[in-house]
Amino acid sequence: MSTKTATFDGLAQFDRTTSIWGPITLGLGFLVSLAAALFAAFGTGLGITGQEVWTAFGIVFATFGIIAVVEPISYYPILGRSAMYQAFMIGNIANKLLPSALIAQTDLGEKPGTRRAELIAGAAIIGAAFVHIITLIILVGFLGTWLLGLLPAGLIAVARLYILSAVFGAVTVQAVVSMKNARTTIIAAVVSAIVVYGVVRLAPVLTNYATAVSVVAVIIVAWFARKRTVASEAIDAPADAPSSIGH
């Protein structure tokens, strides 16, 4: 058996295993999380009613339901299927796992969207989760209270104010460098600015959906404004279009 054939067989086995254990592990994680929440609501004597639970669910779903659809679509081209299962099981995707995957792919010279990039993203996520757990145990579990007591209150306030913006800024820059697509980058910047500073101000009701609207709008505009190639024109052509071969 050639090395190439063995590689294809290994990837096929990897995909089969991922298809089986990915949904199982996510389902188990969901059940454990749901059981803990239900116990806190109904097993601790807090007096929470079923109506209150459904009301809270409706509010959260109305706010974050669209994000639950947009985030998988947005992350999949970079992470791939197997790394997506890992990321959504662990959490903190945008501010921890996605930057780790992008940095690893860039350092290894692999453009997102390939099988090798998917495997790199999975390995990066494992490393990020491992480092996160170790730092939580040491810095939070053992040194948290003592370390915070040493930091000036002003420094902590500044960190809380800018840390999220700094993380998202780094993710954005890393994505731009990794994708190396000036056309899509410009479209994303312009469309997002229009949505955030124009559409949202004209329609404040869309404030909680600004990210989702921006992502969907960028995808649509980038598709129609993409660079046309022979391959893309062949895909866009009607199936019954006459062939030029032999004419």
Task: Provide the angle, in degrees to the nearest 10, between the axes of the packed helices 50-90 and 210-224.
Answer: 50
Q: pLDDT-derived band of residue 126, with 50, 70 and 90 as boundaries?
A: very high
Q: What pTM was estimated for this model as a whole?
A: 0.61
151-174 in b/e form (b: 16+ CB < 10 A) is eeeeeeeeeeeeeeeeeeeebeeb
CA 25 to CA 85: how far, in whole Å?
8
Q: pLDDT-derived band of residue 246, with 50, 70 and 90 as boundaries?
A: very low
| Each residue's pLDDT tens digit, 176-189 | 776 677 888 888 88
CA 75 to CA 122: how far, in whole Å?
13
| Each residue's pLDDT tens digit, 49-78 | 888 888 888 877 776 777 788 788 888 888
State yes or no: pLDDT of 234 exceeds 70. Answer: no
CA 13 to CA 80: how far, in whole Å?
16
Q: pLDDT value at position 190?
A: 92
Place of tokens 């009607």: 238
Q: Work out the percent of the chain whose per-residue pLDDT is above 70.
A: 88
Give the lowest-confidence range in 85-94, 120-129, 149-158: 149-158
Give the lowest-confidence range in 83-87, 140-144, 159-163, 188-192: 140-144
> Closest Cα partner for 139 from 151, 127, 131, 147?
147
- Give the start-to-end residue ranges of the domains of the chain: 20-35+54-153
